[in-house]
Amino acid sequence: MADEPAISVDQLTKRYKETLAVDRISFQVGRGEFFGFLGQNGAGKTTTIKMLCGLLKATSGQMRVAGRDVVNDPLAVKAHIGILPETIDTFDRLTGFELLNFAGLMYGLREDEVRRRATVLLDLVDFDPMDREKLVIDYSMGMRKKVALACALIHGPEVIFLDEPFNGIDALTTAAIQRVLQSLVAKGVTIFFTSHTLEVVAKLCTRVAIIDRGALRAMGTVPELAKLVGAEGASLTEIYEKTLGKVTKTGDIDWVKAAAGPTSHVASPTTVPGPASDEPKTEPPAL
């Protein structure tokens, strides 16, 4: 089992009536990889993640995650993976600490061990004692993401699936989560990751796959992909555009221009007065 890839997918297909959401994709992800899974909205990323996590039944194909067969034994797979979904829908009338305890016990950990891990994890995601005792419903989007990430880590998963983990959260929280993820990869945990922020993908991921309309278009390291599209040294954004063959549309919304009238300019302040300054205060310009 130790020699086996962390994720192994063979001819995976998902069909909804006439719509082919995922079309016979095959790939493998090694243990300890930070794997980026890219694609436009509706390309099939989330559907693939859900199937790999045992949350959605595949129409056909084989999947093995953490050495277990997803189709035949989804519960065993769930016991060895962590999931951070795009939208955090959880038991929001529990406190963050209670939610972590609940998650740990659901994974079969001992109560004292759950408490220890919950304390460590909440500290890691920078929750102060007050935050821990607040109800999840009162958390900001960033705090929800962080507590959900802690829930995904409490049982020591071998593989972690992250669906748009940085969507809608602030820069500091993004940086904090990135640091946690990088430390996990350093310990041999596999991370399967989707994001629309290509700079983050380029920074974190060891390998990248691009999916388009359910089919896998390209896979490899960023230099390999650049070579593949004949643009060596290109950024991931350029590779992405070339792989998908998309051209950004431009057009003139003439009625907006007509209604807004001629352009006027407002001078920007060169400095912003601080609150403790003795200088006479100037009002910021009206926007």
Partner 1 sequence: MRHLRLLFWLRWKYMWRAAWSRRATMVVGWMMSILIALVAAFFIYVLLSKAREDEVPSDVFSEYLALGFAFLYLGWIYFSSLSDLFDPQKLAGYPIPPRTIFIGSCLSTVMGQMPVYAGAIWVALALGWPAPAWPVTMMRALLFVVMIAQLVMVSRLLRLTFLQFLTSRRWRDIAMIMGAIIGTSFYLLWNLVRSNSAAVQDVLQRVSGAAERHAISTWLCWMPSTWFAKSFEGDGMVPALATIGAIVSTVVISWLGGKAEETLAFSEPVFSYTPKKRKLEGGPPRFLRGLTGTIGRLFGGEIAAVARKEAVLLARDPVVRSRLIIIAFYYVIMLFLPAITGRGGVKMPGSMSGFVILFIEMQLLLNIFGTDGVALKAMAAMPVKRLKVVLGKNLCYGLFFLPVNLVLIATYNAFHAPEELRVLPVELAVHASSFLALLGAGSLFSVFLPVRVITPGQRIQRTESDETWLTGWARMGALMGLGVLMAPIGVLRWLMPQLPVGWVGHAAVIAGALVYGVALYAAGAWLAGKALAAREERLIGRFASA
Query: By the criterion CB under 8 A, which residues form the site for partner 1?
Result: 14, 16-19, 21, 47, 50, 53, 55-57, 75-76, 78-79, 83, 85, 89-91, 93-94, 98, 102-103, 105-108, 135, 137
Of the pair 41, 268, the CB lying nearest partner 1 is at 41
Q: How far is the CB of 74 from partner 1 (least distance, A)?
A: 8
CB of 186 to partner 1, least distance (A): 25
Q: Of the candidates 97, 93, 200, 103, which has an alpha carbon nearest to the alpha carbon of residue 137?
A: 93
Q: How far is the CB of 23 from partner 1 (least distance, A)?
A: 15
Q: How far is the CB of 54 from partner 1 (least distance, A)?
A: 8
- CB nearer to partner 1: pick between 164 and 208: 164
Q: How far apart are CA 139 and CA 119, in angstroms?
A: 18
The count of other CB atoms within 10 Å of the CB of residue 237 is 12
Greatest alpha-carbon span in the chain: 72
Q: Is 213 exposed, middle or buried (0-12, 13-18, 19+ CB in 10 A)?
A: middle
The residue among 162 and 225 lying less far from partner 1, judged by its C-beta, is: 162
| CA dist., res. 39 & res. 57, Å (int) | 21
Token pair 């519960």 is found at 75
- 91 vs 221 by CB, closer to partner 1: 91
Least CB distance to partner 1 at residue 108 (A):
7
Q: Which is nearer to partner 1, 52 or 222 (CB)?
A: 52
Distance, in Å, from the CA atom of 172 to the CA atom of 177, rounded to the nearest integer, reads 9
Shortest Å distance, C-beta 225 to partner 1: 29
Q: Which is nearer to partner 1, 145 or 207 (CB)?
A: 145
